[in-house]
Amino acid sequence: MGAFVIFVGIIIAGTQIDFWNWIIQTYRMRPFTLRERVFTEFRVIIHYLSLFFAPLPGRFNLDYDFPFSTSLITPPTTLLSGILLLAVLGIAIPLYRKEPLVSFGILWFLGNLVIESSVIGLDLVFEHRMYLPMVGLLLVFGALFYKLILRLNSKSANYTLPAKVFLIIIGLTFALAAYQRNKVWSNEISLWRDVAKKSPDKVRVKLNLGMAYDVSGDYDKAVEYYRLVLVKKPQNIITRLKLAGAYHSCGLLDKAATEYKKLINMYPDLPPAHAGLAKLYEEQSLSKQADIEYKKVLKLNAGCKSTDCHDEMG
């Protein structure tokens, strides 16, 4: 519920500032609208619940390419998810007096998803957003399981031992699943290869996999993925800088120079492009050309506020 209180506080503060204008600004770089995000989050929350009930290692993903809901009925699961969430909320409120812990757990789960699963233009899905809300679900099922054992034990048979065995089996199963998932996280390449299998069309995933290969020294693979990114986003500054750097590391100086020159044509006032080209010229003993580029870097850095430079690089 803490997140819910914070969210309410933000809305109250919004009466003193241009709150909704700030909300709209959070969508400036997003491929979805506020309406699409709100509708999509109905399905996202149900997906979170499905991961709670079936936490199979292969179902987890660091960077989802989650399809948008363009309306309440597109796809139809949007409306079904919304109805299900309303039903869960409808169960929690009347249970407050009879089963306060269960009611609190449900409200905790929903309340702590309010900020990151409502109107603010964040990424649609991140599994870590379930860490705090999941405490509420554990309270709900812990309370229900405890009551079930008490009720069964009130009869002739004693179910305490079977309950302990059941919990041990569940614990060992989850431990094995966690071990399998941790192997995926063992290094950057295995992690981003796993993500690339599950989100094959997402540009950010290809870029991150390329950078993982780059850091590991596999520059040929890095070049392959950087080029895939540039097919969809040819003006992406970071990717083209990374591509030029990978070519440089491979010893393909002409190709590296070509990429730096493309960047300079697109963004003449970009210091890293001039600096990279200057370094290439210097390694080729082209002192005059290197000196020209270094002077451009010094001139651009002198007239460029650090925040503006970072904004230009994306």
Q: Which domains does the chain have, with CATH numbers?
A: 2-161 (no CATH), 188-313 (1.25.40.10)
Token duo for residue 78 = 């949007």
Amino acid letter, 205:
V
Task: Supply the pLDDT for residue 163.
Answer: 87
Residue 313 near residue 270 (C-beta atoms within 8 A): yes
Please state the rounded mean pLDDT for residues 118-145: 95
State mean pLDDT over 22-37.
Answer: 94
Q: Which DSSP helix (H) or strand (E) runs through 79?
A: helix 77-92
Mean pLDDT of 160-181: 93
Measured between alpha carbons, how far is 138 from 174 in angstroms, rounded to an integer? 14
Give 261-307 pLDDT, tens digit per residue. 999 999 999 999 999 999 999 999 999 999 999 999 999 998 655 44
Mean pLDDT value of segment 20-47: 95
Average the pLDDT over 105-127 and give the result. Answer: 95
What is the average per-residue pLDDT within 182-202?
A: 97
pLDDT tops 50 at residue 309: no
Which pLDDT value is given to residue 160?
83
- Indicate the SS3 state at residue 74: strand
Most confident by average pLDDT, 14-18, 20-24, 199-203: 199-203
Q: What b/e string do you get for 272-305 counting C-beta neighbours within 10 Å, with b at 16 or more?
A: bbbbbbbbbbeeeeeeeebeebbebbeebeeeee
Tokens encoding 136: 């509420």
* CA–CA distances in Å: residue 96 to residues 51, 104, 115: 26, 7, 23
Residue 102 has which token pair? 């269960």
Which has more pLDDT, 5 or 126?
A: 126
Question: Does pLDDT of 142 surpass 50?
Answer: yes
What pLDDT does 151 receive? 85
**Averaged pLDDT of the chain:** 91
Residue 11 makes CB contacts below 8 A (sequence gap 6+) with 19
Q: Which residue has the higher pLDDT, 5 or 153?
A: 153
Q: What is the CA radius of gyration of the chain?
A: 26
Q: Is pLDDT above 70 for 237?
A: yes
SS3 26: coil
> SS3 of 71, please?
strand
Percentage of the residues of the chain whose pLDDT score is greater than 70: 90
Q: pLDDT band at residue 40, thresholds of 50, 70 and 90?
A: very high
Judged against a pLDDT cut of 50, whether residue 191 lies above it is answered with yes
Asked if residue 106 lies in contact with residue 136, where contact means CB atoms within 8 angstroms, the answer is yes
Residue 168: which pLDDT band, with cuts at 50, 70 and 90? very high
Band (pLDDT 50/70/90 cuts) for residue 161 is confident
Residue, of 9 and 179, whose pLDDT is higher: 179
Q: How far apart are CA 149 and CA 145, in angstroms?
A: 6
Query: Which amino acid is residue 46, in one-letter code?
Result: I
Please give the pLDDT value at position 307.
Answer: 41
Is the pLDDT reported for residue 14 higher than 80?
A: no
pLDDT of res. 155: 74
